[in-house]
Amino acid sequence: MGLAPLRHRFDLRLHRLSHRLALFAAHLSPLTESALWLSLFVPLAMAVTFRWAPLMAADKALLHWVNQGWARNWLDDLMVFFSDMGKMPLLWLALLGWLLLFSVRKSGWRKGWMNWLKIVLTLAIAIGCADGLCSHVAKELVHRERPPSLVKGVRLPKGVGSSLGFPSSHAANAFAAARVLSASAPPRWLWWLLATAIALSRVYLGVHFPADSVGGALLGLTVGALVVWMRQRLTTQSD
């Protein structure tokens, strides 16, 4: 059997697993959900910290497949765009404008304005906490180098950062934001799609191993769900 059928079967099973996880997560409270994501992040972080051989081998193989096997000039440009989305002021202004429009149309100007402020504050807290935990706590504890320091021949269409690798701050911030936005405003599928694209772009660009992006996503989901739960608690108490 060739590689193409195996990859198709893998992608199909991964899609089914993701769908089932999404249905399962939809019935959880944000606090329980946060604990679930944390329970997945911790063993992954430990496996990376102690350089568990099967994970290291899988990480290198998947990195090679994405970084080398998918290489296309147009895809380089697209992945750089996804990777740099957080640094684009116009995109942030467009997002804030959309959130304000949605809030006002849903609740009227006065209440909608206050709801918009709550969403923006929640989003800022989630991203700030995810980034801080990722950059100043998790990376220092795990202390894993980035792919170019550990694997030869990695493509670097955009260069490589100077910080440590696990977990990916881009993935953590993106999934923390997606978790908050999915609880706040449509289109929910778009927030998850963009977060996934950002996390994947880091692997494609050769600056993170797949486990780095997965770990970042899990940490971001942990923080995002916890912040959503805190907002719900505060809103309930104020009402």
Q: Which tens digits make up the pLDDT trace of 50-70? A: 999 999 999 999 999 999 999
Asked which of 36-40, 112-116, 167-171 is least confident by mean pLDDT, the reply is: 112-116
Q: Which residue type occupies 107?
A: S
Inter-residue long-range contacts of 40-43, CB under 8 Å, 24+ positions, other chains counted: 40/218, 41/167, 41/215, 41/218, 41/219, 41/222
Confidence band, pLDDT 50/70/90 cuts, at residue 163? confident
Residue 142 pLDDT: 94
Q: Is domain 30-238 in CATH 3.30.2310, yes or no?
A: no
Residue 176 pLDDT: 97
Residue 9 pLDDT: 66
